Amino acid sequence: MPSPTIPHPLDPLSSVESNVTRQAILDARGSNVTVRFRSIFLEEPPKAELVTFLALEHSGQLTAASPRPARVARVQYDAINSSKEYSYVESLVDVNKRTEVKERIVDKLHQAGIIMYVSLSHLRNRGRWKVIACKSSAIESLD
């Protein structure tokens, strides 16, 4: 059985690992870029590496020194430069090495828009918008 301090390769990222991943992205982008994180989650290890690990685990031969697949996080975020231009980016971060190992800027044609948070009262006051809300399984207008 693996040590509780060494996560299983399929365990979700811990909060510490998520923070390490976040910092690796911020360090890679530098101070001239604002980063809006959308998600940070575990990237499953390659099947060949996982099969080797699982074989050791199921045979009872797994030790703290046994080889393990790298803990890699997939990060999805918006990078906004000083000119207010943004890119939707997907990166892979080696959590143990605390470094970004792959970056892919998604073509604008395939990007979801930046998520903007607007209050309902702002929309209601604009007059052109009809705002609806779900309440007790029924939809009612807020007009």
Q: Is the pLDDT of residue 78 over 50?
A: yes
Q: Is the pLDDT of residue 115 over 80?
A: no
Check residue 135 and give its pLDDT.
Answer: 44
Q: Is the pLDDT of residue 143 over 50?
A: no
The CATH topology of domain 15-114 is Nuclear Transport Factor 2; Chain: A, (3.10.450)
Distance between CA atoms of residues 99 and 72, nearest Å? 10
Q: Is the pLDDT of residue 55 over 50?
A: yes
Check residue 114 and give its pLDDT.
Answer: 57
Instruction: Provide the terminal-to-terminal Cα distance of the chain, rounded to the nearest Å.
Output: 59
Around Cβ 33, how many Cβ atoms within 10 Å?
Answer: 17
Predicted model pTM: 0.72
Phi, psi (5° rounding) for residue 81? -85, 180
- Say which residue, 121 or 32, is predicted with more confidence: 32
